[in-house]
């Protein structure tokens, strides 16, 4: 008799599901619902990520601490090789914006190791970035807020004066703050710049109904599947904590045009704002699944499972459009864990390295 083929091993990042939830747990949960044989390895940058301690269907079977993306591609490759030697990775699904540049740079190296990566082309990644929205919007026939960037607080304040208050101050990858004065702008700039560096952006504030579209592209300009929701509840950071599926021809057309221009392959989140009596504004495009993507899977549009199966050459799930009027509500609960698990995560079983400071990227924990 032939040997039984081992199940694929997928590494997924973004495991935090607290106040500012990341998509990783929802991605794991969605793929596991379609293909329960798959083993999941968590990529973590913080020993307090809530998903590390989950015992639900969103759990990773094992998790490893990684260097922060700012450490660069070589540091990432070194850590992937260490984890790959233990886990025999098949696929990496990044769910954090900051990871993509390094993974795109390493795509060929990883392919030689037998590891596929869910990531777009670099040109498409740049084309949908926040500073490029005012270029992309007219190409797709959609309005965009005025957006400017600067590397200094004084420069950003000058740009904000031209745009007018209130306005948003945003990091190139993360964080957004609505500010009503120059003093608030300077404070927001300082906080973002100290963590993420520059440039920092200022964006015109547009008010209206907010919409979120989760979609997957085929890399040739087509849309594999998409679902749009109108935000019903938002966290203080603007995250959707409740939403309802909508079928809006204008939103559908904007989505198709954006994918046609970008030739995007893989997951994408499109954020739109519609002021009363005006067309939709393209507010932001995120190169990943949204944190609520497991909702889409539960109503028949399992986009994470489709992406994983397509990358692995396995049977893809049937995708059904979400029924308009179907809604989700985010529900938080407490996770019970033992504090010794944090120690386990910070100790590498092969090297005995117990450092949890600057060199804490060598730890691992089996869940």
Q: Which domains does the chain have, with CATH numbers?
A: 9-119+337-366 (3.40.50.20), 124-128+207-329 (3.30.470.20), 146-204 (3.30.1490.20)
Indicate the pLDDT class of residue 354, thresholds 50, 70 and 90.
very low
- Span of 55-59, 81-85, 334-338 with lowest mean pLDDT: 334-338
Indicate the pLDDT class of residue 16, thresholds 50, 70 and 90.
very high
In this prediction, residue 340 carries a pLDDT of 80
> How do residues 252-295 score in pLDDT, each as one tens digit?
999 999 999 999 999 999 999 999 999 999 999 999 999 999 99
Residue 358 clears pLDDT 80, i.e. is over it:
no
Residue 180 is given by DSSP the state: S
In this prediction, residue 346 carries a pLDDT of 64
Residue 130 is given by DSSP the state: G
C-alpha to C-alpha distance for 26 and 10, rounded to whole angstroms: 14
Six-digit token pair at 263?
């030739």
Residues in the chain: 367
Which helix (DSSP H) or strand (DSSP E) does residue 345 occupy? Answer: helix 340-345
In this prediction, residue 48 carries a pLDDT of 87
In this prediction, residue 347 carries a pLDDT of 59
In this prediction, residue 357 carries a pLDDT of 30
Query: Helix, strand or coil for residue 337?
Result: coil
In this prediction, residue 361 carries a pLDDT of 37
In this prediction, residue 174 carries a pLDDT of 82
pLDDT, mean over the chain = 90
* % pLDDT > 70, the chain: 92
Is 207:215 a contact under the CB 8 Å cutoff?
no
In this prediction, residue 85 carries a pLDDT of 96
Query: Helix, strand or coil for residue 239?
Result: coil
Residue 53 clears pLDDT 60, i.e. is over it:
yes
């Amino acid at each position: 008799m032939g040997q039984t083929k081992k199940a694929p091993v997928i590494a997924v990042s973004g495991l935090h599901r607290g106040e500012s939830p990341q998509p990783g747990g929802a991605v794991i949960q969605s793929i596991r619902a379609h293909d329960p044989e798959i083993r999941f390895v968590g990529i973590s940058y913080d020993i307090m990520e809530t998903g590390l301690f989950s015992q639900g269907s969103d759990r990773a079977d094992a998790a490893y601490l990684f260097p922060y993306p700012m450490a660069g591609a070589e540091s990432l490759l070194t850590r992937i090789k260490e984890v790959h030697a233990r886990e025999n990775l098949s696929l990496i699904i990044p769910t954090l914006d900051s990871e993509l540049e390094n993974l795109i740079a390493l795509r060929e190296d990883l392919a030689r190791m037998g590891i596929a990566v869910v990531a777009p082309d670099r040109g498409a990644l740049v084309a949908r970035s926040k500073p490029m929205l005012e270029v992309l919007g007219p190409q797709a026939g959609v309005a965009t807020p005025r957006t400017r960037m600067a590397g200094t607080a004084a420069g950003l304040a000058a740009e904000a004066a031209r745009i007018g208050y209130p306005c948003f101050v945003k990091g190139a990858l993360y964080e957004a703050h609505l500010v009503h004065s120059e003093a608030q702008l300077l404070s927001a700039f300082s906080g973002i710049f100290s963590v993420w560096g520059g440039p920092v952006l200022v964006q015109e504030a547009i008010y209206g109904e907010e919409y979120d579209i989760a979609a997957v592209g085929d890399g040739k300009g087509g849309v594999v599947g998409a679902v749009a929701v109108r935000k019903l509840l938002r966290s203080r950071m603007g995250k959707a904590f409740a939403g309802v599926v909508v079928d809006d021809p204008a939103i559908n057309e904007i989505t198709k045009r954006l994918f046609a221009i970008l030739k995007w392959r893989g997951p994408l989140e499109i954020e739109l704002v519609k002021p009363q009596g005006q067309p939709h504004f393209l507010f932001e495009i995120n190169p990943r699944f949204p944190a609520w993507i497991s909702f889409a899977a539960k109503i028949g549009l399992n986009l994470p499972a489709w992406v994983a199966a397509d990358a692995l050459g396995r049977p893809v799930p049937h995708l059904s459009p979400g029924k308009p009027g179907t809604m989700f509500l985010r529900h938080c609960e407490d996770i019970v864990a033992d504090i010794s698990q944090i120690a386990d995560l910070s100790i590498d079983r092969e090297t005995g390295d117990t450092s949890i400071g600057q060199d804490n990227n060598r730890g691992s924990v089996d869940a």
